[in-house]
């Protein structure tokens, strides 16, 4: 596929309505501490082939006023299972959604995608509150 054949295939990602990421009040917001999560069985769909893509996601964040509620986050992650989405867009969309939900002080998300055609992809994005 050429670049023009991909044109417009991911334009809906930023506006995609994902499940809400619930939060709870951080009673230790006077302290800087890091929360680390690993999602070892992440899946989404390759928008070109329609086949599943597999990844390990590693999320680290320093909460401010709120923390991520895990059950809702699991439901959020599962929404990607049937979505045709590029690896780069997975990581960027997730960071935007997490920041919108809990406004962390710092955040780092790393998506380590399994090899496809002999190429493994790792996409990393960091966020630091202004």
Location of structure tokens 């923390």: 67
32 is catalytic: no
Q: Which of 44, 53, 64, 97 is catalytic?
A: 53
Exposure string over 17-43, b if 16+ CB within 10 A, otherwise e:
ebeebbbeebeeeeeeeeeeeebeebb
Q: Which helix (H) or strand (E) holds 8?
A: none
Q: Which of 32, 46, 67, 97 is catalytic?
A: 46
What span, in angstroms and rounded, lies between the C-alpha atoms of 104 and 109?
12
Instruction: With beta carbons less than 8 A apart as the criterion, state whether 38 and 73 touch.
Output: no
12 is catalytic: no
Name the H helices within the chain.
3-6, 70-78, 87-102
Residues forming the active site: 46, 53
């Amino acid at each position: 596929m050429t670049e023009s054949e991909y044109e417009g295939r991911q334009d809906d990602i930023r506006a995609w309505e994902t499940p809400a990421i619930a939060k709870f009040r951080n009673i230790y917001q006077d302290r800087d501490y890091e929360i680390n999560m690993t999602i070892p069985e992440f899946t989404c769909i390759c928008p070109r082939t329609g086949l599943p893509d597999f990844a390990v996601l590693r999320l680290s964040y320093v909460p401010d006023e709120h923390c991520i509620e895990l059950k809702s986050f699991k439901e959020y992650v599962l929404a990607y299972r049937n979505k045709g989405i590029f690896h780069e867009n997975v990581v960027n969309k997730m960071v935007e959604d997490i920041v919108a939900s809990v406004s962390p002080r710092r955040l780092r998300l790393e998506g380590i995608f399994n090899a496809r055609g002999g190429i493994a992809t790792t996409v990393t994005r960091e966020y630091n509150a202004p």
